Copies of this chain bind each other. A is one copy, B any other.
Amino acid sequence: MAEKRLPTRLLLEEKELPRNWYNMNAVLPEKHAPALHPGTLQPCTLEDYEGAFCTELAKQELNVTDEYIPIPEEIMDFYKMIRPSPLIRAYCLEKSLGTPAEIYYKFEGNNTSGSHKLNSAIAQAYYAKKQGLTSLTTETGAGQWGTALSMACAFLGMDLTVYMVKCSAEQKPFRKSVMETYGAKVIPSPSTTTEIGKKILAENPNTAGSLGCAVSEALEVATKTPNCKYVLGSVLDHVILHQSIIGQETKTALEKYGVEPDLLVSCIGGGSNFGGFIAPFIKDKINGKAKYEILAVEPKSCPSLTRGRYAYDFGDTGKMTPLLKMYTLGNGFMPSPNHAGGLRYHAMNPIVSKLYHDGYIKCTSVEQTSVFEAAVRFAKTEGILPAPESSHSIRVVIDEALKCKETGERKKIVFCLSGTGYFDIKAYTQYNDKTMTDYIPTDEDLEKGFATIPDIPQNK
């Protein structure tokens, strides 16, 4: 008897949308080590977090008890415009590969920010507004986060200042213009609008800027401006919490259509899309009921999980943030400039780090040119031009599907296509022109980064 053909798009109706975020911290059998205050080296308290973040987000950061956290109605109203994001059966890719594997992808790029970042941006802006704040600051590198937060702030009528890494602002003027169209003030960093920016410029007038510097400028302005806080788009646990909407929808849709996955795949940089995608699937991994594997994919040029150290480190190169226990290449690690797109962060969200350390998830790393080869193949068969970041997942999924072709296994593979590459055309041009190169740091390169990990008692 012929099997029933699943629709190409595994749709959810609005009434089937998840009403809660999923908090992995509530189900970890052993909690991850607490964040430490950089001055006292004592665990960060709510008050510590409230210095930089709004209260509700600080509470979420510290919440290790509530498995489900209700999504406020106002945020649901926004989500309903852009969600559920489609879960798509990649029939055409499967056919072109000639694989018996079933491939599904959760596509988060169907919004103007071009990625999943909007899921947390709207939540963070909402809580800030509810607390009576009138403006926010943040940093952005590649620009997806800055765009997403600009959209969220425009929607809620809040002011936003984005410190955008100078070389990125110059290379991606369109990203800057989109943020400005949404009303954000975009300042190439380092700038003369902050003390730290002036200091850096005085020392090095021609610097191209860095994410670490942009963080420091955004933090400085937030601290000095009334009714203003700093927000960020990855790494912290409350960001992963908001992104769990991705996994919640994926799980609901798979259950609705009777698909039992064998392998869940997502790319990983700071952990936001990966953490959100796997969130509701992790409990069954922990209690041993899951028959699926969970696989993270990182670039070989910035291999925080596969080659990093599990230690307390700063989140920024300026060493201003709390210390987090995470897989890290050292806060001084800088990926090679030939690395395109995001996934450049030196460390990894603490929950994801803990899950990896305890063996609940696996990680593999891939090279840039092979990633773009997969990206172009996907674009030609599935129609979507993927983000370089998301294409790391595609590389691994195609390889897995080709293995299934050898073995005949009908593996069900589900991956998160976290965004589109519409603003990453320069990297595609390099790939087309065959001027794109690969880079794998040597052990000596890594040692230089490791030397920047703080030498504190907790790291002994």
A-side interface residues toward B, CB under 8 Å? 7-9, 11, 13-15, 77-78, 80-82, 88, 91-92, 110-112, 114, 118, 151, 154-155, 173-174, 177-178, 180-183, 376, 379-385, 420, 422-423, 425-426, 428-429, 431-432
Contact = CB atoms under 8 A, between A and B. Distances in A.
A281 to B, nearest CB: 25
A118 B429 CA distance: 22
A422 B422 contact: yes
A183 B428 CA distance: 12
A385 B422 contact: no
Chain A interface SS verdict (over half): helix
A182 B428 contact: no
Contacts of A155: 92, 380-381, 383
A383 B178 contact: no
B181 A80 contact: no
A425 B78 CA distance: 24
Given A155-B92, A183-B380, A428-B181, A15 B11 contact: no
B174 A425 contact: yes
A422 B114 CA distance: 10
A385 B7 contact: no
Contact of A80 (B7, B82, B426): B7
Contacts of A183: 380
Contact of A180 (B15, B180, B432): B432
A82 B181 contact: no
A182 B379 contact: yes
A84 to B, nearest CB: 9
Q: How many copies does the complex hold?
A: 2
A92 to B, nearest CB: 7
Given A80-B8, A180-B432, A428-B177, A151 B111 contact: no
A154 B385 CA distance: 12
Contacts of A422: 112, 114, 174, 178, 422-423
A403 B320 CA distance: 53
User: Which 3 pairs, one residue from A and one from B, show the smallest C-beta to C-beta distance?
Assistant: A7-B14, A8-B80, A154-B380
A90 to B, nearest CB: 9
Nearest to A174: B425
A383 B81 contact: yes
A415 B258 CA distance: 36
A181 to B, nearest CB: 5
A133 B384 CA distance: 25
Contacts of A383: 78, 81-82, 111-112, 118, 151, 155
Given A7-B14, A181-B432, A112 B385 contact: yes
B88 A178 contact: no
Nearest to A428: B181
A379 B153 CA distance: 12
A81 B77 contact: no
A425 B14 CA distance: 32
A297 to B, nearest CB: 21
B112 A92 contact: no
30 contacts: A7-B14, A8-B14, A9-B81, A11-B14, A77-B91, A80-B91, A81-B382, A82-B383, A92-B155, A111-B383, A111-B384, A112-B379, A112-B383, A112-B384, A112-B420, A151-B379, A151-B380, A151-B383, A154-B380, A174-B425, A177-B425, A178-B385, A178-B422, A178-B428, A180-B429, A181-B431, A182-B380, A183-B380, A422-B422, A422-B423
Nearest to A183: B380
Contact of A11 (B13, B154, B178): B13
Given A112-B385, A178-B422, 20 more contacts: A7-B15, A7-B80, A9-B14, A77-B92, A80-B91, A81-B88, A81-B382, A111-B383, A112-B379, A118-B383, A151-B383, A174-B422, A177-B428, A178-B425, A180-B432, A181-B376, A181-B425, A181-B428, A181-B432, A182-B380
A122 to B, nearest CB: 9
A150 to B, nearest CB: 9
A8 B88 CA distance: 21
Contacts of A7: 13-15, 80
Contacts of A182: 379-380
